[in-house]
Amino acid sequence: MKCVLFNVLNIETKGMEILKKIIIVTFFLLALTGCKSYLFNKGLEKTGVYNKSIKLTKLQSNSKEVVFFPMRHIGVEEFYNDTEKKIDSLKKIDYYFFLETVNVSLYDTITLRKFRKLKGMPISKPSLGYMYLIDSVYKFKLKKKIIDQPSYIKLGVDSLCGKRVDLDLKDITDAYESDYGEIKLESCDYKTPFYEKSTCNDKKVDNKIINSLILTLRNKKIVNEVLQHKSKKIAIIYGAEHFVEIKAALLSNGFRLSN
């Protein structure tokens, strides 16, 4: 069965919610000021999209070291150049990398449609990311050139020094159904492809539930893997919003912040 490792930004709810809020606020203020590009750029700047470097955090226990890379799924080229350099430095001292990427089968259209229904918005095609949204949909004039997150291979991580530590999309929908009941697809769910908006008038699922599925559920997998993996030096390359829970969980398991 053919599978695609979707860039996780295509389904990352919290990141999308931040971007949506920026856009909503921008259009609201536009009615008063007419400065949509300026306001949109200020929003991107506030969320760290224009940062030129990545700030790493290190945690240490008696037996392991963990370095967290708070990844931005869109950013300036300098940010990813800096990320690549820091990855290379850790590779030289035998760090092993845990990578964020939700595994999705393009043939499992039931799961894709269920997730669209759950999330309330379409899933991007594998070849599209945030830059498609900005360039093709909103068409704002950007303060700086920004790009989608490069592939892990381009950042210097391959199967010899790292692996995907994440869930399958079906794990997420199964977890929801286990707690809240079956996601029942209706005829309207089949009228459009999963990468387009549904014609259904679905009630929005509480964001706390979505965040629990897309953040907490995956964070638990990462922490368990850190605790069980044989490597003594681990680097986690994940979206920045994941770090709060991951750090708290590791601190409760004997880790401490390290300089």
pLDDT value, residue 20: 59
Tell me which of 25-34, 178-187, 207-216, 221-230 is least confident. 25-34
Instruction: Report the Cα 135 to chain-centroid distance in Å.
Output: 20
Q: Which residues of 137-157 are buried (b: 16+ CB within 10 A; e: fewer)?
A: eeebebbeebebbeebeebbb
Residue 131 pLDDT grade (very low, low, confident, very high; cuts 50, 70, 90)? low
Taking a C-beta distance cutoff of 8 angstroms, is the pair 105, 3 a contact? Answer: yes
pLDDT, mean of residues 198-203: 89
Spell out the alpha helix ranges (H) of the chain: 13-33, 36-46, 77-91, 109-119, 130-132, 152-155, 169-180, 207-211, 217-228, 243-251
Tens-digit pLDDT profile for residues 204-227: 889 899 889 999 999 999 999 999
Rounded to whole angstroms, the Cα distance separating 150 from 194 reads 25
Tokens of 160: 């010899």
pTM, to two decimals: 0.81
Of the chain, the percentage scoring pLDDT greater than 70 comes to: 80
Q: Mean pLDDT, the chain, as a whole number?
A: 84
pLDDT value, residue 78: 96
| Residue that the structure tokens 């912040």 belong to | 257
Tens-digit pLDDT profile for residues 137-163: 556 677 788 888 999 999 999 999 999
CA distance to 88, 96, 258, per residue, from 156 (Å): 7, 12, 25
| Res. 10: pLDDT tops 50 | no
